[in-house]
Amino acid sequence: MSVAIPMVALVGALLLLVGVRDPRPARRRRRAHRGDPAWAVAAALAAASLTLLITTVPVAALLAAVIAARVPAMVRHRRAQHAHWQRALAWPAVLDDVTSAVRAGMDLPEALLHAGRHAPADMRPIFDAFAVRYARGADFVGSLDELRRCAGDPIVDDATRALAIARTVGGGDLTQVLRSLATYLRLDLQVRGEVRARQSWAVNSARMAVAAPWVVLTLLASRPSTMAAFRTGTGMAVLIGVAVSSALAYAVMLRIARLEEVPA
């Protein structure tokens, strides 16, 4: 075992180093990591090595590896959620740009294209899809459908449908409709932000509750007699039972605290 631990730790460190020093461009590297198991393997090996070194309990090391293997996917999911929220927050400003362009004399499609060129970088692809569809001769509403399909966001659904109505209304009421839409989105995002904050409190509390037994186990690792008890059949069964119950409780809590997206 004394040789296996350094070897496993070395393999995990090498895999992490390869992932960090990947010479490919950042965008291609992010796409590759979505389906690249190297990060999960590296995290699992590193966690198993550290846990085995601290506790000398093989079952604890196995459980740590299973949990750590999920960490890269959780990090990617969290980053995707953050990027999605940042795009949602940018929509009122985009509508303000559309309103300003309309007041400057542009028609609504041109104003939307103008706002897309000044939108945050991660929002421009959906405006590019709208521009391509509109340049090929599609009508404005059909091009908005393409934008909505690329975005896949209920907030964008609300915005594009309101823009379609604004296109139909036209005239002097157009800027008023756009301003009302921007105000509505700001209020909606404010409510969503408050709900997200309350949800984060519940999720963080659940994470602390799930982590508590394992923190206690780590503290008990300094007592050889306690670790010897966990190396027995009964001790391993206790560890597996605690892991299963913790996973089930955490999954149920996430299900309860999940924010359902209401289709527009």
Give the list of residues 6+ apart from residue 172 with CB closer than 8 angstroms, or none: none
Encode pLDDT of 30-76 as tens digits.
444 455 688 888 888 888 888 888 777 888 888 888 888 888 888 88
Neighbour tally for 257: CB within 10 Å: 15
Give the list of residues 6+ apart from residue 92 with CB closer than 8 angstroms, or none: 182, 185, 186, 189
The angle that helices 58-69 and 71-103 make with each other, rounded to 10 degrees, is 20
| CB distance 155 to 134 below 8 Å | no
The predicted structure's pLDDT at residue 169: 67
What region, left, alpha or beta, does residue 56 occupy, with left being phi > 0 and alpha being psi -120 to 50 degrees? left
All structural domains of the chain with their residue ranges: 1-69, 86-189
Encode pLDDT of 43-52 as tens digits.
888 888 888 8
